[in-house]
């Protein structure tokens, strides 16, 4: 397969308040913006497994962008002007028996949450997966107390598949369960619509 055929073209969108954004695949020039977004999210301390001291650098982000230059991987960004305000990733499992499943993740800048950025990224990522010739299923992990994210995932067809009890620890006595959610792609063999 030609790797270029799997790279989605840039798409312009308007947020609920009319703010224009662009969704496109991540480029090397986005490394600093992705590192800044990561810093913001880790500093918030709510929805990441990493703590404040576990930030990534622009150099690490540049390496990550390069690692997604493969037919079974996708790293897209949401941009407001030149600012990275969100990202979504899809990465197929390496093992041949699980290569039909891709791990999904999404992040949105704090001030842009609830405005349609996550929905735009979800739509682009799910459309890419639905059109991909070998990805049949998406899976993700989400904190069980992140009701807003769970509702967004459910709106795109993700359903709960399991729970990892007390998986994330915030301090010595505070734990959060982690939900496993999955979504069959339109052509996926496990999709009940295709049975």
User: Which three-class secondary structure state does DSSP give residue 49?
Assistant: coil
CA distance 83 to 140: 26
What is the mean pLDDT of the segment spanning 118-139? 95
Find out whether 165 and 177 touch, Cβ atoms under 8 Å.
Answer: yes
The tokens describing 150, both together, are: 């769970």
Residue 157 resides in a domain = no
Residue 195 resides in a domain = no
Residue 185 resides in a domain = no
The confidence band for 195, taking pLDDT boundaries of 50, 70 and 90, is: low
What 8-state DSSP symbol labels residue 10? P
Domain of 113, CATH number, reads 3.40.630.30
* pLDDT of 44 strictly over 80: no
**pLDDT on residue 3:** 47
Residue 48 resides in a domain = yes
Residue 103 resides in a domain = yes
- Average pLDDT along the chain: 89
Residue 154 resides in a domain = no
| Residues 6 or more apart whose Cβ sits within 8 Å of residue 130 | 185, 186, 187
* pLDDT of 190 strictly over 80: no
pTM of the model: 0.89
Question: 6-15, 48-57, 155-164: lowest mean pLDDT where?
Answer: 48-57
The number of distinct structural domains making up the chain is: 1
Range of the domain at 117: 8-141
Residue 131 resides in a domain = yes
Residue 94 resides in a domain = yes
């Amino acid at each position: 397969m030609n790797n270029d055929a799997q790279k989605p073209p840039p798409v312009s969108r308007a947020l609920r308040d009319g703010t224009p954004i662009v969704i496109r695949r991540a480029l090397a020039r986005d490394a600093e913006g992705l590192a800044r977004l990561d810093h913001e999210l880790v500093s918030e301390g709510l929805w990441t497994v990493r703590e404040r001291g576990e930030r990534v650098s622009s150099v690490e982000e540049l390496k990550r962008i390069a690692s997604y230059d493969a037919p079974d991987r996708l790293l897209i960004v949401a941009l407001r002007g030149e600012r990275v305000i969100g990202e979504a990733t899809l990465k197929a499992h390496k093992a041949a028996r699980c290569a039909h499943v891709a791990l999904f993740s999404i992040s949105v800048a704090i001030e842009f949450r609830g405005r349609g950025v996550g929905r735009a990224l979800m739509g682009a990522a799910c459309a890419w997966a639905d059109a991909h010739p070998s990805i049949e299923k998406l899976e993700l992990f989400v904190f069980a107390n992140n009701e807003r994210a769970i509702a967004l995932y459910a709106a795109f067809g993700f359903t709960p598949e399991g729970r990892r009890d007390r998986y994330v620890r915030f301090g010595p006595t505070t734990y959060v369960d982690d939900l496993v959610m999955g979504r069959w792609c339109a052509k996926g063999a496990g999709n009940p619509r295709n049975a």
